[in-house]
Structure 1
């Protein structure tokens, strides 16, 4: 059955998206649950390696060093937290809003000057003196 969404559905989704907490990104996805449940298993195996000799052989290898980083809890927190941080930062700027010179109220002449690079710091402008890329006295022409 096809349902037609109304504007109320969109506003309900927007408020639902706005209420997402960090736990929705760190605990609820299936890959997060898998990762968080694998971390104590890995470290229990690391603790067991001090008693069980064949397990010690693996945990002494270079591959185990990489897996130590992968199963370090702060690594999981940082990687899984990226989605939440992006969602959190998206809440500050709404699509379609602009903070450029046109929304500040600058006229056309001032907007053009606002985006113009000063010739004294532009390496592609011959008026910049010795920093000009084509100047034989430029220090980069060693």
Structure 2
């Protein structure tokens, strides 16, 4: 029995669509990141069981700061960056620029909109703002 690891091509003309496992599990840096994250969380659980008077404060503070580095969301963000770039490069996804936000014209009354010149001082809603 022979185990073959391959990526199936979905489109013969284009490049194959990348799989998430190729970016999250297979590279050496991904394996290193997952192992160190696992060891960190095991070490944090062990450190919680130590009484407060016996904890080295430098180690405790370092472990607290490393929560940002080994947070699962951070791990997925760092490892998923290459995956997203590969998905865009093969044409599965497209990058869409953000448009300037616009206000819906049908919902805004021009006489109460502070940015419309027709509103005058009506949008201010109190008598102290009107100056003669």
TM-score scaled by length of structure 2: 0.50
Give the structure with the higher percent helix: 1
- The gaps in structure 1 that reach 5 residues or longer are 1-11, 94-142
Deviating runs (4+, > 6 A) in structure 1?
Answer: none
The residue number in structure 1 matching 2:29 is 31
The residue number in structure 1 matching 2:86 is 87
- The answer to whether structure 1 residue 43 and structure 2 residue 41 are counterparts is yes
How far apart are 1:19 and its partner, in Å? 3.4
How far apart are 1:39 and its partner, in Å? 1.2
TM-score scaled by length of structure 1: 0.47
SS in 2 for 1:68: coil
Q: 1:45 to 1:58 in 2, by over 3 A?
A: farther
**Bigger relative contact order (CA 8 A; separation at least 6):** 2
- The gaps in structure 2 that reach 5 residues or longer are 1-8, 93-132
